[in-house]
Amino acid sequence: MTLNLRRIVTVSALALIAAAVPASAATPEETAREVLSKTPVIDGHNDTPHQIAELFDRDFSKFDLKGLSPDILAKTHTDIPTLRAGFLGGQFWSVYVDAALPKHEAVTRTVEQIDVVRQMIARYPDVFVYADTAATAEAAMKKGKIASLIGMEGGHSIGSSLEILRQMHALGARYMTITHSLTTDWADSATDAPKHDGLSPFGFEVIAEMNRLGMIVDLSHVSEATMHDVLDKTRAPVLFTHSNARAVTPHPRNVPDSVLKRLPQNGGVVMVTFVPGFTSPERRQWEYDRSAVAGRAKLEFTGNPEGEKAAVATWIAAHPQPKATLAQVADHIDHIRKVAGIDHIGIGGDFGGVDELPVGLENVSTYPALFAELVRRGYSKTDLAKIAQGNALRVMRGVEAAAEK
Protein backbone atom coordinates (compact mmCIF):
# COMPACT_ATOMS: atom_id res chain seq x y z
CA MET A 1 0.00 0.00 0.00
CA THR A 2 1.35 3.39 -0.95
CA LEU A 3 1.74 6.20 1.54
CA ASN A 4 -1.09 8.22 0.01
CA LEU A 5 -3.45 5.25 0.10
CA ARG A 6 -2.60 4.64 3.78
CA ARG A 7 -3.44 8.27 4.49
CA ILE A 8 -6.78 7.91 2.71
CA VAL A 9 -7.64 4.77 4.67
CA THR A 10 -6.59 6.37 7.96
CA VAL A 11 -8.61 9.54 7.29
CA SER A 12 -11.64 7.45 6.29
CA ALA A 13 -11.35 5.36 9.44
CA LEU A 14 -11.12 8.45 11.64
CA ALA A 15 -14.17 9.92 9.91
CA LEU A 16 -16.16 6.76 10.62
CA ILE A 17 -15.08 6.78 14.26
CA ALA A 18 -16.02 10.45 14.61
CA ALA A 19 -19.43 9.80 13.08
CA ALA A 20 -20.03 6.99 15.53
CA VAL A 21 -19.26 9.15 18.58
CA PRO A 22 -22.22 11.40 19.49
CA ALA A 23 -21.69 15.11 19.96
CA SER A 24 -21.32 16.11 23.57
CA ALA A 25 -24.74 16.35 25.18
CA ALA A 26 -26.00 19.63 26.57
CA THR A 27 -25.71 20.01 30.31
CA PRO A 28 -28.88 20.17 32.40
CA GLU A 29 -28.24 23.87 32.92
CA GLU A 30 -27.93 24.44 29.16
CA THR A 31 -31.11 22.49 28.48
CA ALA A 32 -33.02 24.44 31.12
CA ARG A 33 -31.90 27.77 29.69
CA GLU A 34 -32.71 26.66 26.16
CA VAL A 35 -36.28 25.77 27.15
CA LEU A 36 -36.82 28.88 29.27
CA SER A 37 -35.50 31.16 26.55
CA LYS A 38 -38.35 29.91 24.35
CA THR A 39 -41.02 29.38 27.03
CA PRO A 40 -40.19 31.67 29.98
CA VAL A 41 -41.72 31.09 33.39
CA ILE A 42 -45.18 32.34 34.30
CA ASP A 43 -45.10 32.53 38.11
CA GLY A 44 -48.35 32.39 40.04
CA HIS A 45 -47.48 34.47 43.08
CA ASN A 46 -45.03 37.27 43.91
CA ASP A 47 -45.53 39.64 46.87
CA THR A 48 -43.26 42.48 45.70
CA PRO A 49 -46.23 44.92 45.62
CA HIS A 50 -46.74 44.27 49.34
CA GLN A 51 -43.05 44.90 49.98
CA ILE A 52 -43.24 48.17 48.02
CA ALA A 53 -46.11 49.25 50.26
CA GLU A 54 -44.40 48.15 53.48
CA LEU A 55 -40.87 49.38 52.75
CA PHE A 56 -41.57 52.51 50.72
CA ASP A 57 -45.18 53.47 51.50
CA ARG A 58 -46.00 52.96 47.81
CA ASP A 59 -43.64 55.82 46.86
CA PHE A 60 -41.79 54.87 43.68
CA SER A 61 -39.40 57.81 44.05
CA LYS A 62 -37.76 56.01 46.99
CA PHE A 63 -36.40 53.02 45.04
CA ASP A 64 -35.59 51.76 41.57
CA LEU A 65 -36.45 48.23 40.46
CA LYS A 66 -33.68 48.50 37.87
CA GLY A 67 -31.30 47.62 40.69
CA LEU A 68 -32.25 47.30 44.36
CA SER A 69 -29.71 47.40 47.16
CA PRO A 70 -28.76 43.98 48.62
CA ASP A 71 -30.66 44.60 51.86
CA ILE A 72 -33.88 45.47 50.01
CA LEU A 73 -33.43 42.63 47.50
CA ALA A 74 -33.15 40.28 50.48
CA LYS A 75 -36.80 41.16 51.24
CA THR A 76 -38.32 41.47 47.76
CA HIS A 77 -36.17 38.73 46.18
CA THR A 78 -37.11 40.57 43.01
CA ASP A 79 -35.81 43.36 40.84
CA ILE A 80 -35.49 43.81 37.09
CA PRO A 81 -31.98 42.29 36.73
CA THR A 82 -33.00 39.17 38.70
CA LEU A 83 -36.26 38.87 36.75
CA ARG A 84 -34.31 38.89 33.49
CA ALA A 85 -31.70 36.46 34.78
CA GLY A 86 -34.45 34.08 35.87
CA PHE A 87 -36.17 33.96 32.45
CA LEU A 88 -39.45 35.24 33.86
CA GLY A 89 -42.04 35.80 31.15
CA GLY A 90 -45.21 36.40 33.16
CA GLN A 91 -46.06 37.21 36.75
CA PHE A 92 -49.25 37.23 38.75
CA TRP A 93 -48.41 40.08 41.13
CA SER A 94 -50.14 39.44 44.45
CA VAL A 95 -52.24 42.23 45.95
CA TYR A 96 -52.27 41.06 49.56
CA VAL A 97 -53.68 42.78 52.64
CA ASP A 98 -53.95 41.52 56.21
CA ALA A 99 -56.84 39.08 56.64
CA ALA A 100 -57.66 40.53 60.08
CA LEU A 101 -58.49 43.99 58.75
CA PRO A 102 -62.07 45.26 58.99
CA LYS A 103 -63.97 44.69 55.76
CA HIS A 104 -64.02 48.30 54.57
CA GLU A 105 -60.30 48.73 55.26
CA ALA A 106 -59.41 45.48 53.50
CA VAL A 107 -61.26 46.64 50.40
CA THR A 108 -59.57 50.06 50.43
CA ARG A 109 -56.08 48.64 50.89
CA THR A 110 -56.62 46.07 48.16
CA VAL A 111 -57.45 48.85 45.70
CA GLU A 112 -54.29 50.65 46.83
CA GLN A 113 -52.27 47.50 46.18
CA ILE A 114 -53.75 47.20 42.68
CA ASP A 115 -52.60 50.77 42.13
CA VAL A 116 -49.05 49.75 43.16
CA VAL A 117 -48.99 47.15 40.39
CA ARG A 118 -50.38 49.64 37.87
CA GLN A 119 -47.75 52.21 38.89
CA MET A 120 -44.98 49.65 38.56
CA ILE A 121 -46.07 48.71 35.05
CA ALA A 122 -46.35 52.37 34.02
CA ARG A 123 -42.96 53.26 35.49
CA TYR A 124 -41.09 50.51 33.62
CA PRO A 125 -42.89 50.16 30.26
CA ASP A 126 -39.75 48.74 28.65
CA VAL A 127 -39.98 45.78 31.04
CA PHE A 128 -43.61 45.22 32.08
CA VAL A 129 -46.84 45.02 30.11
CA TYR A 130 -50.26 44.77 31.75
CA ALA A 131 -52.00 41.54 30.79
CA ASP A 132 -55.46 40.27 31.66
CA THR A 133 -55.91 37.29 29.32
CA ALA A 134 -53.86 34.41 28.02
CA ALA A 135 -53.65 36.13 24.63
CA THR A 136 -52.33 39.43 26.03
CA ALA A 137 -49.82 37.54 28.19
CA GLU A 138 -48.54 35.60 25.19
CA ALA A 139 -48.33 38.78 23.11
CA ALA A 140 -46.27 40.49 25.82
CA MET A 141 -43.85 37.58 26.06
CA LYS A 142 -43.38 37.51 22.29
CA LYS A 143 -42.18 41.10 22.56
CA GLY A 144 -39.70 40.15 25.28
CA LYS A 145 -41.72 41.90 27.98
CA ILE A 146 -42.89 40.52 31.33
CA ALA A 147 -46.65 39.98 31.21
CA SER A 148 -47.97 41.48 34.44
CA LEU A 149 -51.22 40.11 35.81
CA ILE A 150 -52.94 40.85 39.11
CA GLY A 151 -53.92 38.24 41.69
CA MET A 152 -56.01 39.14 44.75
CA GLU A 153 -54.83 37.15 47.77
CA GLY A 154 -57.77 36.56 50.05
CA GLY A 155 -61.55 36.58 49.90
CA HIS A 156 -61.60 39.16 52.70
CA SER A 157 -60.64 41.70 50.01
CA ILE A 158 -64.20 41.78 48.62
CA GLY A 159 -65.93 42.57 51.92
CA SER A 160 -68.48 39.76 51.40
CA SER A 161 -69.91 41.63 48.41
CA LEU A 162 -70.46 40.36 44.87
CA GLU A 163 -70.60 43.98 43.75
CA ILE A 164 -67.09 44.60 45.08
CA LEU A 165 -65.92 41.32 43.52
CA ARG A 166 -67.12 42.59 40.14
CA GLN A 167 -65.37 45.91 40.63
CA MET A 168 -62.09 44.22 41.63
CA HIS A 169 -62.30 42.27 38.39
CA ALA A 170 -62.93 45.53 36.52
CA LEU A 171 -59.79 46.98 38.15
CA GLY A 172 -57.76 44.07 36.80
CA ALA A 173 -57.79 41.27 39.38
CA ARG A 174 -57.66 38.00 37.43
CA TYR A 175 -57.59 35.55 40.30
CA MET A 176 -58.81 35.57 43.86
CA THR A 177 -57.43 33.35 46.58
CA ILE A 178 -60.65 32.28 48.31
CA THR A 179 -59.23 32.77 51.82
CA HIS A 180 -55.96 33.78 53.36
CA SER A 181 -54.91 32.70 56.86
CA LEU A 182 -58.33 33.28 58.44
CA THR A 183 -61.74 31.78 57.72
CA THR A 184 -64.04 34.32 56.10
CA ASP A 185 -67.80 34.76 56.43
CA TRP A 186 -68.20 32.39 53.52
CA ALA A 187 -65.20 30.01 53.21
CA ASP A 188 -62.99 27.96 55.54
CA SER A 189 -59.24 28.57 55.65
CA ALA A 190 -56.63 25.84 55.96
CA THR A 191 -55.09 27.57 58.97
CA ASP A 192 -58.11 28.65 61.00
CA ALA A 193 -61.08 27.01 62.71
CA PRO A 194 -63.72 25.92 60.18
CA LYS A 195 -67.18 27.50 60.25
CA HIS A 196 -68.85 26.29 57.07
CA ASP A 197 -67.52 22.78 56.37
CA GLY A 198 -66.06 24.30 53.21
CA LEU A 199 -68.16 26.97 51.51
CA SER A 200 -71.26 28.70 52.83
CA PRO A 201 -74.24 29.24 50.48
CA PHE A 202 -72.85 32.70 49.72
CA GLY A 203 -69.47 31.08 49.04
CA PHE A 204 -71.05 29.02 46.26
CA GLU A 205 -72.45 32.25 44.82
CA VAL A 206 -68.96 33.75 44.81
CA ILE A 207 -67.57 30.80 42.84
CA ALA A 208 -70.40 31.02 40.32
CA GLU A 209 -69.82 34.76 39.88
CA MET A 210 -66.07 34.26 39.43
CA ASN A 211 -66.80 31.69 36.72
CA ARG A 212 -69.13 34.17 35.02
CA LEU A 213 -66.57 36.98 35.20
CA GLY A 214 -63.65 34.89 34.05
CA MET A 215 -61.74 35.22 37.32
CA ILE A 216 -59.53 32.28 38.29
CA VAL A 217 -60.40 30.55 41.56
CA ASP A 218 -57.22 30.16 43.62
CA LEU A 219 -57.38 27.40 46.23
CA SER A 220 -54.11 28.07 48.03
CA HIS A 221 -54.83 28.81 51.71
CA VAL A 222 -58.23 27.07 51.83
CA SER A 223 -59.25 23.99 53.81
CA GLU A 224 -59.54 20.57 52.20
CA ALA A 225 -63.35 20.77 52.49
CA THR A 226 -63.31 24.12 50.68
CA MET A 227 -61.14 22.64 47.93
CA HIS A 228 -63.66 19.86 47.35
CA ASP A 229 -66.65 22.20 47.48
CA VAL A 230 -65.08 24.41 44.82
CA LEU A 231 -64.20 21.46 42.60
CA ASP A 232 -67.80 20.25 42.93
CA LYS A 233 -69.17 23.64 41.88
CA THR A 234 -66.79 25.33 39.46
CA ARG A 235 -67.26 25.23 35.71
CA ALA A 236 -63.67 26.37 35.11
CA PRO A 237 -60.17 25.10 35.91
CA VAL A 238 -58.66 26.19 39.24
CA LEU A 239 -55.20 27.21 40.36
CA PHE A 240 -53.28 26.65 43.54
CA THR A 241 -51.04 29.66 43.00
CA HIS A 242 -48.49 28.82 45.72
CA SER A 243 -48.91 25.40 47.33
CA ASN A 244 -47.10 22.07 47.55
CA ALA A 245 -48.00 18.40 48.04
CA ARG A 246 -49.26 17.45 51.48
CA ALA A 247 -48.09 13.85 51.09
CA VAL A 248 -44.50 15.13 50.90
CA THR A 249 -44.75 17.82 53.59
CA PRO A 250 -47.76 17.46 55.92
CA HIS A 251 -48.72 21.11 56.19
CA PRO A 252 -52.42 22.11 56.01
CA ARG A 253 -51.50 24.70 53.34
CA ASN A 254 -50.46 21.93 50.98
CA VAL A 255 -52.68 19.98 48.59
CA PRO A 256 -53.78 16.48 49.69
CA ASP A 257 -53.78 13.55 47.28
CA SER A 258 -57.59 13.41 47.43
CA VAL A 259 -57.60 16.77 45.65
CA LEU A 260 -54.63 16.09 43.36
CA LYS A 261 -56.53 13.09 41.99
CA ARG A 262 -59.41 15.36 40.94
CA LEU A 263 -57.27 17.85 39.02
CA PRO A 264 -57.17 15.92 35.72
CA GLN A 265 -60.97 16.11 35.50
CA ASN A 266 -61.01 19.80 36.41
CA GLY A 267 -57.93 20.79 34.39
CA GLY A 268 -56.46 22.71 37.31
CA VAL A 269 -52.81 23.30 38.21
CA VAL A 270 -50.76 23.31 41.41
CA MET A 271 -48.13 26.04 41.14
CA VAL A 272 -45.38 24.65 43.35
CA THR A 273 -44.08 27.12 45.91
CA PHE A 274 -40.72 27.68 47.59
CA VAL A 275 -41.94 28.49 51.12
CA PRO A 276 -39.59 26.49 53.42
CA GLY A 277 -42.30 25.30 55.82
CA PHE A 278 -44.39 23.98 52.94
CA THR A 279 -41.37 22.47 51.19
CA SER A 280 -39.23 20.67 53.77
CA PRO A 281 -40.76 17.98 56.04
CA GLU A 282 -37.91 18.56 58.49
CA ARG A 283 -38.58 22.30 58.54
CA ARG A 284 -42.30 21.70 59.04
CA GLN A 285 -41.61 19.42 62.03
CA TRP A 286 -39.20 21.98 63.49
CA GLU A 287 -41.83 24.71 63.22
CA TYR A 288 -44.38 22.45 64.92
CA ASP A 289 -41.95 21.65 67.75
CA ARG A 290 -41.02 25.33 68.17
CA SER A 291 -44.70 26.24 68.48
CA ALA A 292 -45.14 23.61 71.18
CA VAL A 293 -42.12 24.93 73.08
CA ALA A 294 -43.43 28.51 72.78
CA GLY A 295 -46.85 27.40 74.08
CA ARG A 296 -45.32 25.72 77.11
CA ALA A 297 -43.07 28.69 77.79
CA LYS A 298 -46.04 31.05 77.72
CA LEU A 299 -47.68 29.01 80.49
CA GLU A 300 -44.52 28.45 82.52
CA PHE A 301 -43.44 32.09 82.42
CA THR A 302 -46.80 33.83 82.81
CA GLY A 303 -46.11 37.48 83.57
CA ASN A 304 -42.43 37.05 82.69
CA PRO A 305 -42.03 37.82 78.98
CA GLU A 306 -38.24 37.88 79.21
CA GLY A 307 -38.18 34.40 80.72
CA GLU A 308 -40.60 33.18 78.06
CA LYS A 309 -38.40 34.63 75.31
CA ALA A 310 -35.23 33.15 76.84
CA ALA A 311 -36.76 29.67 77.07
CA VAL A 312 -37.67 29.66 73.39
CA ALA A 313 -34.23 31.04 72.43
CA THR A 314 -32.51 28.30 74.44
CA TRP A 315 -34.51 25.64 72.62
CA ILE A 316 -33.72 27.15 69.20
CA ALA A 317 -30.00 27.28 70.06
CA ALA A 318 -30.11 23.56 70.86
CA HIS A 319 -32.23 22.73 67.80
CA PRO A 320 -30.93 24.62 64.72
CA GLN A 321 -33.56 25.45 62.15
CA PRO A 322 -33.40 23.04 59.16
CA LYS A 323 -33.01 24.60 55.72
CA ALA A 324 -35.28 23.76 52.82
CA THR A 325 -33.54 22.92 49.54
CA LEU A 326 -34.11 23.19 45.82
CA ALA A 327 -34.11 19.38 45.60
CA GLN A 328 -37.05 19.24 48.03
CA VAL A 329 -39.04 21.59 45.79
CA ALA A 330 -38.36 19.15 42.95
CA ASP A 331 -39.62 16.32 45.21
CA HIS A 332 -43.01 18.04 45.35
CA ILE A 333 -43.06 18.37 41.57
CA ASP A 334 -42.27 14.66 41.30
CA HIS A 335 -45.18 13.76 43.59
CA ILE A 336 -47.70 15.97 41.82
CA ARG A 337 -46.64 14.46 38.49
CA LYS A 338 -47.11 10.97 39.94
CA VAL A 339 -50.61 11.63 41.32
CA ALA A 340 -52.11 14.29 39.02
CA GLY A 341 -49.87 14.23 35.94
CA ILE A 342 -47.46 16.55 34.17
CA ASP A 343 -50.30 18.74 32.88
CA HIS A 344 -51.15 19.92 36.39
CA ILE A 345 -47.89 21.49 37.58
CA GLY A 346 -46.76 25.11 37.54
CA ILE A 347 -44.51 27.46 39.52
CA GLY A 348 -45.60 29.91 42.26
CA GLY A 349 -42.47 30.87 44.15
CA ASP A 350 -43.99 33.33 46.69
CA PHE A 351 -40.96 35.57 46.30
CA GLY A 352 -41.29 38.69 48.42
CA GLY A 353 -43.74 36.93 50.72
CA VAL A 354 -41.35 35.02 52.98
CA ASP A 355 -38.32 35.84 55.12
CA GLU A 356 -36.29 32.91 53.88
CA LEU A 357 -36.14 30.69 50.79
CA PRO A 358 -34.71 27.25 50.02
CA VAL A 359 -31.00 26.89 49.45
CA GLY A 360 -30.48 27.35 45.71
CA LEU A 361 -33.70 29.37 45.21
CA GLU A 362 -32.78 32.62 46.93
CA ASN A 363 -34.38 35.01 44.43
CA VAL A 364 -36.14 35.11 41.07
CA SER A 365 -32.91 34.64 39.14
CA THR A 366 -32.82 30.98 40.24
CA TYR A 367 -35.67 29.46 38.20
CA PRO A 368 -33.16 27.93 35.74
CA ALA A 369 -31.49 26.02 38.58
CA LEU A 370 -34.79 24.33 39.47
CA PHE A 371 -35.46 23.42 35.85
CA ALA A 372 -31.92 22.01 35.54
CA GLU A 373 -32.69 19.75 38.51
CA LEU A 374 -35.82 18.54 36.71
CA VAL A 375 -33.70 17.74 33.64
CA ARG A 376 -31.45 15.64 35.85
CA ARG A 377 -34.56 13.80 37.04
CA GLY A 378 -35.58 12.88 33.52
CA TYR A 379 -38.11 15.59 32.63
CA SER A 380 -38.27 16.23 28.89
CA LYS A 381 -38.15 19.62 27.18
CA THR A 382 -41.89 19.31 26.59
CA ASP A 383 -42.42 18.65 30.29
CA LEU A 384 -40.37 21.71 31.22
CA ALA A 385 -42.30 23.95 28.84
CA LYS A 386 -45.60 22.81 30.36
CA ILE A 387 -44.39 23.50 33.90
CA ALA A 388 -42.88 26.85 32.94
CA GLN A 389 -45.95 28.33 31.28
CA GLY A 390 -47.99 25.94 29.16
CA ASN A 391 -50.16 24.60 31.97
CA ALA A 392 -50.85 28.04 33.42
CA LEU A 393 -51.84 29.41 30.03
CA ARG A 394 -54.19 26.47 29.53
CA VAL A 395 -55.95 27.28 32.82
CA MET A 396 -56.29 30.92 31.81
CA ARG A 397 -57.79 29.98 28.47
CA GLY A 398 -60.12 27.50 30.16
CA VAL A 399 -61.39 30.13 32.61
CA GLU A 400 -61.93 32.59 29.76
CA ALA A 401 -63.81 29.97 27.72
CA ALA A 402 -66.06 29.13 30.70
CA ALA A 403 -66.92 32.82 31.10
CA GLU A 404 -67.81 33.12 27.42
CA LYS A 405 -70.39 30.35 27.84
Could you list the beta-strand ranges (E) of 311-398: 345-347
Q: How many whole angstroms separate alpha carbon 293 and alpha carbon 287?
A: 10
H or E stretch at 334: helix 326-339
| Residue type at position 3 | L
**33-39: long-range contacts, CB 8 A cutoff, minimum separation 24:** 33/87, 33/368, 34/381, 35/371, 35/381, 35/384, 35/385, 35/388, 36/87, 36/367, 36/368, 36/371, 36/384, 36/388, 37/87, 38/385, 39/89, 39/384, 39/385, 39/388, 39/389, 39/390
Whole-number Cα distances in Å, 206 to 51, 187, 202, 212, 266: 29, 10, 6, 10, 18
**Alpha carbon distances (Å) from 63 to 56, 57, 73, 350:** 8, 11, 11, 21
What are the catalytic residues?
Answer: 45, 47, 153, 180, 221, 242, 350
The residue length of the chain stands at: 405
